Amino acid sequence: MTPIQAAILGIVEGLTEFLPVSSTGHLILAAHAMRLSGDAVEAFEIVIQAGALLAVVWLYRARIGEILAGIFRNDAGGRALLIRLIVAFLPAAIVGFLTHSWIKEHLFGPRAVAIALLVGGIAILVVERLRHRVREPIAAVPTEIPVMGALFIGIAQVLSLWPGTSRSMVTILAALMIGATPVAAAEFSFLLALPTLGAATLFDWAKHHHELLGPEMGGPLPLVIGLVTAAIVAVIAIRGFLSYLTRRGLVPFGWYRIILGILLIVLLWSRPGALA
């Protein structure tokens, strides 16, 4: 892997990790387009998520401070948020641990991504249409999300184990469905990324760190470039997404997913080896 290829993947990761378009799906497509493949490349796509997580830590350091206060100083708000994040984290953590190898073997490819992009886009349009008809939001901040609502978000997050689905998409949609405002839903999704993606990153790092730092990947430089690039771009993407979400909602992302999914399906149907 060259430094330029690493930077491209870092940009893709930072730009898409917290948007409802699937960072994993876009990374798989970008890697295939650059003719990058193998276990080390797949691990690289997971580990550079740590860069995007640093962006969340920086932007939401006040919320993280509240959580730490809930642990060490018995702060009620911080403790409530921590409980909700743990409840939401556990379903995907358990299912992901049990199915990790199977998912990588069978679903890390353009065909699975294309299907997930299309289905996810339709889901966004349906939920956005229905949520405005149901009721007024009941949770303006993450701590107002009920514990059972957090469990519902966590169960929805299991769907994101299918590459191309988007962890951000399913968690934000689930939070909207239980009555969170768009900003509260996005903020809870971003904070939930810390344990969820953190666990996945540590798992793949422990399993593949020798390959990630080895000559096959060009040494440690590409990984450093990918992490730094992902962190910088993710900060910009999160700020822009929150501003856009309050003005336009998720519908444009739904149409983007549908169009991209259809284009990929047509490409794979007409030229089966195009993304092989």
pLDDT in tens, 35-69: 988 888 888 998 999 999 999 999 999 999 999 99
Tens digits of residue pLDDT in 203-247: 888 888 888 888 888 889 999 999 999 999 999 999 999 888 888
Is the pLDDT higher at 192 or at 128?
Answer: 192
Ordered DSSP codes for 6-56: HHHHHHHHHHHTTTTT-HHHHHHHHHHHTT--SHHHHHHHHHTHHHHHHHH
Task: Give 124-173 pLDDT, tens digit per residue.
Answer: 999 988 876 666 778 888 999 999 999 999 999 999 999 889 999 999 99
Please give, one letter per residue, the 3-state secondary structure of 81-118: HHHHHHHHHHHHHHHHHHHHHHHHHHCCCHHHHHHHHH
Q: What is the mean pLDDT of residues 240-266?
A: 91
The pLDDT of residue 40 is: 87
What number is the average pLDDT over the span 61-78? Answer: 89
Distance CA 153, CA 150 (A): 5
pLDDT of 272 higher than 80: no
Confidence band, pLDDT 50/70/90 cuts, at residue 73: confident
DSSP-assigned letters across all residues of 129-194: HHHHHH---SBSSGGGS-HHHHHHHHHHHGGGGSTTS-HHHHHHHHHHHTTB-HHHHHHHHHHHHH
- 144: Cβ–Cβ under 8 A, 6 or more apart, which residues? 138, 180, 184
pLDDT for res 134: 62
Q: How far apart are CA 231 and CA 222, in angstroms?
A: 14
**Which one is predicted more confidently, 83 or 106?**
83
Torsion of CA 63, 67, 69, 75, to 10 degrees: 100
Q: How confident is the model at residue 275 (pLDDT cuts 50, 70, 90)?
A: low
pTM, two decimal places: 0.88
Q: What is the pLDDT of residues 19-28, one digit of tens each?
A: 999 888 899 8
Q: Encoding tokens for residue 276? A: 């092989």
